[in-house]
Amino acid sequence: MASELFNPRVHPAGLSDVDLETMQIFGVRALIAVADSTAHPATPEGLLAHFDELMGPQLIRLDRAGIKAGVALGVHPLCLPRRGLSQILDAIPGYLETGRVLAIGQLGLRSGSEVEEEALLAQLALAHQFNRPAIVSAPDEDTERMTKRTLVTLQASELPADRILLDGAIGKTVRGIRELGFFAGLTVHPAILPVEKAVALIRTLGPERLVLGDAAGFGASDIVSLGRAAHRLTKAGLSQRVISRVTWDHAASLFSLE
């Protein structure tokens, strides 16, 4: 029997119904469907339509697949509108009332511009105001430098570090993320982190403040990589307690999924 897995970052629009069924068969019992930067124009209207898509058809698909799902809503740095960000942020509290929006995200920096930093801080303030955690993603390019820049911005926020998941951590950044009290997301994905490297990091560093995910539906993802990573951790001799902490416990606690 597959372990029960909590996937903290899923892009459901990039997954078929068969993909969702396969993920469920391979152990995914809960997930967070995140707002992302693709398949919608970077305008207030486009982003709000994207939120509605997540909250409506995509949640229905996830429920039908037998996966307990929450949603993260936010404005990704790659789709910051030229104007109208406040309109989007003003609309998010209405979505929070549904009880299905468990986090603010995906957030982050890409170029590190002043506009990006202001948008990140505004959304972290929203998370703090409404007592939600935040999902912040490190960029796939220039990851080490931009992660350091992101951490500086996160420290300027009132949202406590233990309410923030910084995913896209790699070998050169994971220690710094954890040392500052943030959760570090090890995202097993062809464009981010190989399964073998994630397993090696967990064996070396231990499970404290580590969350394993796979960004299923983001680009050329591997929809069974989270289950594969859990299996490799077992073969590596790690205890079920340690495996559960990185594949379920930390995420379930952070996102308060009931």
The pLDDT mean for the chain works out to 95
Position 1 scores a pLDDT of: 38
Instruction: Dump pLDDT digits (tens) for 93-141.
Output: 999 999 999 999 999 999 999 999 999 999 999 999 999 999 999 988 8
Residue 126 is encoded by which pair of tokens? Answer: 């929203």
Position 258 scores a pLDDT of: 67
Using an 8 Å Cβ cutoff, are 92 and 50 in contact? no
b vs e for 191-229, b when ≥16 Cβ sit within 10 Å of the residue's Cβ?
Answer: ebbebeebbebbeebebebbbbbbbbbbeebbbbbbbeb
The CATH number covering residue 128 comes to: 3.20.20.140
> Predicted confidence band at 237 (pLDDT cuts at 50, 70, 90)?
very high
- Mean pLDDT over 26-55 rounds to 93
Domain enclosing residue 98, as ranges: 5-255
CA distance 112 to 86: 20
Neighbours of 148 (CB within 10 A): 15
- Give the chain's domain count: 1
- Mean pLDDT over 179-183 rounds to 98
Whether 35 shows a pLDDT value over 80: the answer reads yes
Strand, coil or helix: what is 165? Answer: strand
What proportion of the chain, given as a percentage, has pLDDT over 90?
Answer: 92
